[in-house]
Amino acid sequence: MNPADGPLGERSARELWCDDDPAPVHLEAAGWQLDLVGGQLEELARGGRAVLRAVRLVVRDRDWGTVPADVQRLSVEHRHDGLDVTVRARARGRDVDVSWEVRARVDRDGVRVSGEARALAPSWCNRVGLVLLHHADLAGTDLLVHHPGGTRTTTRFPREIAPHQPARDVAGLEWPAPAGRVRADLSGDVFEVEDQRNWTDASYKTYSTPLERPFPVHLERGSTVHQELVLRVLDAAPGGADVPAPARTATAAGPVDVDLAPSTAPHPEVGTGASTAPQPPGRDGGPAPLPPWAGTLPVLVELDLDGPGWRRALEEARREAADAGLDVRFVTGDARTLPEAVAALRGLPVHRAAAFDSTTHLSTTDLWRALVEELRRAGLDVPALAGTRAHFTELNRGHHLLPPEAGAWTFSTTPQMHERGRAQVLESLAVQRLVAEQAVRLAGGRPVHVGPVTLAPRFNAVATTPRVPGAHGDLSSGYGAEHVPGATDPRQRSRGFAAWLVASAAALGVPGVRSLSFAETRGPRGLGTAEGEPFPAAAAVGHLAALAGRPRWEARGALPAGTAVLAAGPADGPGGDCTVLAANTTGGAVHLRLRAPGGFGAGRLRSAHDAGGAPGGPSATPPGDTLLLPLAPGAVLVWTGPLPGPTR
């Protein structure tokens, strides 16, 4: 067991992230191992070797939101030949009141999980039942699909992120896992498989009720859903334990070697989103003073043209951006709203513009061409992006619908589409890189702009509830994400989130990505409070922005999960200082040993969380062949100095 997975590491992670996520309870019986996390079965293994990422019972409301479950009873009973786990919970939300029970029986023959849900009141749900999560590192491996009629088909867990379901009409699955060949038999409904990496989840998901069936479904009071899973290892694999360490922690027995290698690609531009929070008045009754970081970062603003508040939102975004520039995204259900909106951009420092259909969230060809025409009429020489304001999923599924003449693409991302736990947020980092790389490939040489990148979803891209457009004209109560349930995560204020932003920039900022936009300027989803008190994220984004346009140095090596390194050559050509930015999002300490051609000159090392450096000021680092970076939990370290070899 990884020491940082124990009580000290979990406590450190909770303090770092300012959350109360439950610590995993590790169980072992009959040769099986699993974690019990808040009533869910996680990291199932046999003989210390991975079998399945998770088994859960989920209730999804009519807008595909996961209804939080209040665990009312949890028991673990050990037997001489295994153990029994029982979880009883109640999921209550808008138009949903469902109680459910999961019973898991573990013995040498396998794991049998039964799930039963009962509607305690009339409920509208899109899904109720068991889901299986498969590890993302199964990409490319064989998958045998058993169908309800007894037939079988052979496919694979997709290597490229699959836009559509790689397996349908599922009654059972077989695949080669580290523990051996695994078989999962499912009953109670028809299941299918989707690639959750589309939403930066580190998993493939097997779920019940095919999407081709109508939804939402009305459950009468007293109606029940019953499903079962039988999980077995058919042929055990030889060898020792290889269960991957979860990304929520990072430890290493000694320094981890990381090689820095020069690259011709520059670091992307880094900006922030416009604040959607209620704007506090200033002392004189006018606008509140801007925080010190405003005006130094480009600002991405989404303007809902179907409502009355877009002009005021544009004015406030212009104030937040100052001369750093605007990235303007129009959202509309009618292209006839574009002429007035585009005309309002005259005289503003607009770097880019885009228009998205308010229903599909895509830049449809007609809408994009209408935007280009209006920009021309207004005399604005501004690039028009095409893509989606939603997840990479929509880009992956709908890129063929985009105008072929568009010169650049865009998409946004959040780690919390399906679940809100800290482990999910951390595990998304590795998948963000896969998503960015695939987006660049799909773009076919076009630059890609990623953003907004937000900790929690700023809107629901798959809601079936009719959309309520617009905002109040004076923004006194905010707009957009301010009125979206679940859009605000208290972890926004944490040091963990600041480190996560650095790691996210390292993951998403692959060659071909031209810009990244993180969070909001200020407010509960921002870099600081609405009154301008900075969160740790403000300093992190500032350091990321300082890398923009500078020559990139690639970090190569087996970095522990949840850690990241970015490096940039001198801003003004050979002879100037280089910069290394390193972050640790986890509750465990890590020591990185960086190596570069020609070694490192004398430099300075400080914490990005402290505006003036560490106590006593930045610490000097002597010249040498390597640079040692001690990353405490949540640390963001900045080193500046020369890299003598390749920079001269």
Q: pLDDT digit string (tens) for 14-73?
A: 889 999 888 899 999 999 999 999 889 999 999 999 999 999 999 999 989 899 999 999
Architecture label for domain 268-548: Alpha-Beta Barrel (3.20)
Structure confidence at residue 194 (pLDDT): 97
According to the model, what pLDDT value does residue 237 have?
75
Residue 610: per-residue pLDDT? 57
- The three-point CA angle 293-563-163 to 5° equals 90
| 548/118 Cα distance (integer angstroms) | 54
Burial (CB count within 10 angstroms: exposed 0-12, middle 13-18, buried 19+), residue 131: buried
pLDDT category, 576, cuts 50, 70, 90?
confident
Q: Which architecture characterizes domain 23-236 according to CATH?
A: Distorted Sandwich (2.70)
Residue 442 has pLDDT above 80, yes or no: yes
Tokens of 496: 């963990």
Whether the upstream peptide bond of residue 452 has omega within 30° of 0, thus cis, is yes
Whether the CB-CB separation of 229 and 444 falls below 8 Å is answered with: no
Written as six digits, the tokens of 114 are 């039964």
471 band by pLDDT with thresholds 50, 70 and 90:
low
The rounded percent of the chain whose pLDDT value lies above 70 is 92
Handedness of CA 275, 276, 277, 283 (dihedral sign): positive
Distance between alpha carbon 82 and the CA centroid of its chain, in Å? 37
CATH class of 256-262+553-641: mainly beta
Shortest CA distance to 16 belongs to which of 639, 631, 480, 647? 631
Mean pLDDT of 400-412: 97
On the question of pLDDT at 395 being above 90, the answer is yes
* pLDDT score for 284: 72
Q: Residue 228 CA to chain centroid, in angstroms?
A: 30
Q: CA distances (Å), 597 to each of 259, 491, 647, in order?
A: 9, 39, 10
pLDDT-derived band at 616 (thresholds 50, 70, 90) equals very low
Q: Tokens in use for 239? A: 């060898």
Please check the confidence at residue 8 and state whether its pLDDT lies above 50: no
Residues whose CB falls within 8 Å of the CB of residue 280, separated by 6 or more in sequence, listed in order:
288, 530, 531
**Which part of the chain has CATH 3.20.20?**
268-548
Q: What is the mean pLDDT of the chain?
A: 91
pLDDT the model gives residue 375: 98
Average pLDDT over residues 328-336: 96
Q: How confident is the model at residue 615 (pLDDT cuts 50, 70, 90)?
A: very low
- The pLDDT value recorded for residue 308 is 86
pLDDT of residue 5: 42
Please answer whether residues 59 and 67 qualify as being in contact, where contact means their C-beta atoms are separated by less than 8 angstroms. Answer: yes
Identify which of 336, 353, 264, 317 has the alpha carbon closest to the alpha carbon of residue 549: 264
**Lowest-pLDDT range, 472-481, 580-589, 592-601?**
472-481
Give the strand order in the sheet containing 152-156. Answer: 69-79, 82-93, 96-107, 110-119, 224-236, 180-187, 172-177, 142-146, 152-156
**Which residue's entry shows tokens 């880094």?**
270
Parallel, antiparallel, or unpaired for β 256-266 and 590-600?
parallel
Confidence of residue 239 (pLDDT cuts 50, 70, 90): low
Of 246 and 530, the structure prediction assigns the larger pLDDT to 530
For the cut 90, the answer to whether the pLDDT of residue 12 exceeds it is no
pLDDT above 90: residue 209: no
pLDDT exceeds cutoff 90 at 535: yes
Q: What is the pLDDT of residue 27?
A: 96
**pTM attached to this predicted model:** 0.93
Q: Tell me what pLDDT residue 413 has.
A: 98
Report the b/e string of 221-239 with b at 16+ CB within 10 A: eeeebebebbbbbeeeeee
Cα→Cα distances 602→315, 348, 529, 648, Å: 46, 43, 37, 16
**What pLDDT shows up at residue 232?**
97
Residue-level pLDDT at 643: 83
Per-residue model confidence (pLDDT) at position 490: 95
Sign of CA dihedral 566, 570, 575, 579: negative
Tokens standing for residue 490: 């208290």
Residue whose entry in the numeric block shows the structure tokens 């990479």: 392
Q: Report pLDDT digits (tens) over 279-297.
A: 877 777 677 788 999 999 9
- Strand 590-600 relative to strand 624-631: parallel, antiparallel, unpaired? antiparallel
Instruction: Write the pLDDT tens digit of every residue in 447-466.
Output: 999 999 999 999 988 877 76
